[in-house]
Amino acid sequence: MAEHEAGIAAFARAWAKAITGTSYIPMSQGELEERLCALTLELRDALLAEPFSLRRGYRVGGALVRAHVVSAEGLGRTIEVLDQRFVRDLSLTDTGGRMARLLGTVATGYARALRDRTLDEQESIRRAAMVSREEAEFALRESESRFRHQATHDSLTSLPNRALFTDRLHTAFAGPPQRLAVCFLDLDGFKMVNDSLGHHAGDLLLIEVARRLRRSVGEHLVARLGGDEFVILIEGTTCTEDAVKVADSALDAINEPVEVDGQRLAVSASIGIVERETGGSSPSDVMRAADITLHWAKESGKRRWALFDPDRNEREVARFTLSASMPAALERGEFFVDYQPLVALDGGRLRGVEALVRWRHPTLGVLRPDRFVGLAEESGLIVRLGAWVLGEACAQARRWLDASPDAPFVSVNLAVRQVGDPGLIAEVADVLERTGLPPDRLQLEITESDAMAGVDVGVLDALASMGVRLAIDDFGTGYSNLAYLRHLPVRELKVAGAFVEGLRTGDSPVDEKIMATLVALAHTLDLTVTAENVETAGQAARLRAIGCDSAQGWHFGHPGPPSAIDEHLRRPALRSGVSTPPPAA
């Protein structure tokens, strides 16, 4: 029993750590872990319940929203930690794919709760607009009275605290419509100061930052929300520029070095700015938007401000909604694989095919990989999705081999998370054994940037020793060099389409010389060279003339279903060496 409780506590800590910092969560770390422990028990009971019911998953999703976990990153990290650790940490068994279905209901419950919360806030705005001027003035007098024997200032910095700021913000929204702005400010690297110099030094730094902010923002309200978070309320703005000027002044004041306990510290901050009309919005809307925008400023390199962009926010909400629906979509079989030919330039023989995953989304239609693969990598689902693609591609390659001795090898892309997954080697071996596909009929592709990012060469060596082909994809887009490839057990380079583009018209001898040099050096290392994005016969002819081995692109065929490759295999001209490309699939 103690071991079981320890597993629950460990998972809740991991969950809390994963979502901390993704949203403005008004509770301590201990309170958050306690809340997540309760939700962990709820999910465990749901997974074990007989009969199986999804209602608890919806409740857990709603509870996350009520706990103020209201960002795309927060939900994405939740899905990731549940998918990767829940069953393992609690020593459970996922029977019949229950966990995937439960993940889907958590995401759905989350989306519903977020929608309901928005509707509730909109209703509150509508009611507030109906309140008479007299009632608003009364509320203001009551607020002022309440501000006077309560504790409304931060004990460390003497700035107004969260309670005073919140009251002022609500008062601004309760009064006549006006424009206002909120600048949400967070120090960059403050934790490092606490960790290296101690909390006393951190407190002295916060006191100095508060003094500088108070001096720089004039009559505007500046408050400390807690930790190293500060906020500036600017009422009566006329345009966004009014808020930007205040943010610039605050950054200039903070960016000056600070003397703390005899040490000269470099200080900087990031600011999220929201400027808007109070009508049609609410205090919680503004603070949520400011929190999101602060995160954008941090992502852009810190030491700067960022403005809230409703279009960007809408795109990010759509992205996390798409990300949240992916586990269930994989279970429902919404993903499928298209195949694009890789053709030998000398004779036109079909050497291989590249497996390209698509998503047949029920409302958005067929989605290409650039719409969802990045989301899968962020959420960690790429390992499961990649394993599914690998299995589908190998099974299809075996069917082609059974039908024709001239069947092509199949090339499958690996994400960096897949290469780093400790189960990859066993997974590849299992798929080959299960499908009966000879190892040399499978090619695994990793991008040049991933290869240079510290991929475990031992993993690549183990795959190569099994007989699996390895290729470097998008070669030339990163910063590696051919000499480095001597240390990797790769057979093939797939040169990025940017190098091929210059060969379209023949007016770029420099691109042609670069391509010829790459081909010659690759051949010196006994590497096969495939050119990507070949779209014209002229490009194909020039590539063939400089010795490039093979190519893929629309000139040789669009990505299509397995039946399109069946047509390639039935074409006698292709097998006999005629270089005329087949029609696009």
Contact (Cβ atoms closer than 8 angstroms) between residue 270 and residue 303:
yes
Confidence of residue 482 (pLDDT cuts 50, 70, 90): low
Q: Is the pLDDT of residue 574 over 70?
A: no
Average pLDDT, whole number, for the chain?
87
Contact (Cβ atoms closer than 8 angstroms) between residue 478 and residue 452:
yes
Q: What is the mean pLDDT of residues 256-268?
A: 87
Three-state DSSP class for residue 119: helix
Q: Is the pLDDT of residue 221 over 90?
A: yes
Structure tokens at 366: 């067929």
Q: Is the pLDDT of residue 315 over 90?
A: no
d(CA 104, CA 540): 46
Contact (Cβ atoms closer than 8 angstroms) between residue 510 and residue 489:
no
- Which of 100-109, 129-138, 320-329, 447-456 shows the lowest mean pLDDT across its residues? 129-138
Q: What is the mean pLDDT of residues 49-58?
A: 84
Degrees to nearest 5, angle at CA 15 with 11 and 17 = 115
Contact (Cβ atoms closer than 8 angstroms) between residue 91 and residue 11:
no
Within 8 A by CB and 6+ apart from 103, the residues are: 57, 79, 82, 83, 327, 328
- Which of 2-11, 317-326, 429-438, 501-510 shows the lowest mean pLDDT across its residues? 501-510
Q: Which residues pair with 361 in a beta bridge?
A: 365
Q: What is the pLDDT of residues 407-426, one digit of tens each?
A: 999 999 998 888 888 899 99
Exposure of 529 by Cβ count < 10 A (0-12 exposed, 13-18 middle, 19+ buried)?
buried
* Of residues 27 and 550, more confidently modeled: 550
Q: What is the mean pLDDT of residues 263-284?
A: 93
d(CA 455, CA 464): 14
Q: Is the pLDDT of residue 583 over 50?
A: no
The pair phi, psi for residue 229, each rounded to 5°, is -105, 130
d(CA 53, CA 39): 16
- What pLDDT does 227 receive? 92
Within 8 A by CB and 6+ apart from 102, the residues are: 43, 46, 47, 54, 57
Contact (Cβ atoms closer than 8 angstroms) between residue 11 and residue 44:
no
- What pLDDT does 552 receive? 94
User: What share of the chain in percent tops pLDDT 90?
Assistant: 47
Q: What is the mean pLDDT of residues 54-67?
A: 86
Q: Is the pLDDT of residue 584 over 50?
A: no
- What pLDDT does 96 receive? 74
Most confident of 33-42, 128-137, 448-457, 539-548: 539-548
Confidence of residue 150 (pLDDT cuts 50, 70, 90): low
Q: What is the mean pLDDT of residues 525-553?
A: 92
Secondary structure of 359-422 as H, E, C letters: EEECCCEEECHHHHHHHHHHHCCHHHHHHHHHHHHHHHHHHHHHHCCCCCEEEEECCHHHHCCC
* Of residues 456 and 28, more confidently modeled: 28
Q: What is the pLDDT of residues 14-35, one digit of tens each?
A: 898 988 888 888 888 888 889 8
- What pLDDT does 480 receive? 55
Confidence of residue 340 (pLDDT cuts 50, 70, 90): very high
Q: Give CA torsion, residues 329, 333, 334, 336, to 10 deg.
A: 130
d(CA 147, CA 139): 12
- Which of 263-267, 396-400, 486-490 shows the lowest mean pLDDT across its residues? 486-490
Q: Is the pLDDT of residue 269 over 90?
A: yes
- What pLDDT does 575 receive? 37
- What pLDDT does 333 receive? 94
Nearest to 404 by CA among 225, 543, 566, 200: 566
- DSSP state at residue 504: S
Q: Which residues pair with 470 in a beta bridge?
A: 444
- DSSP state at residue 485: G
- What pLDDT does 479 receive? 54
* Of residues 130 and 250, more confidently modeled: 250
d(CA 520, CA 316): 44
- What pLDDT does 421 receive? 86
Q: Is the pLDDT of residue 342 over 90?
A: yes
- What pLDDT does 577 receive? 35
Helix (H) or strand (E) holding 495: strand 492-495
- What pLDDT does 464 receive? 94
- What pLDDT does 572 receive? 54
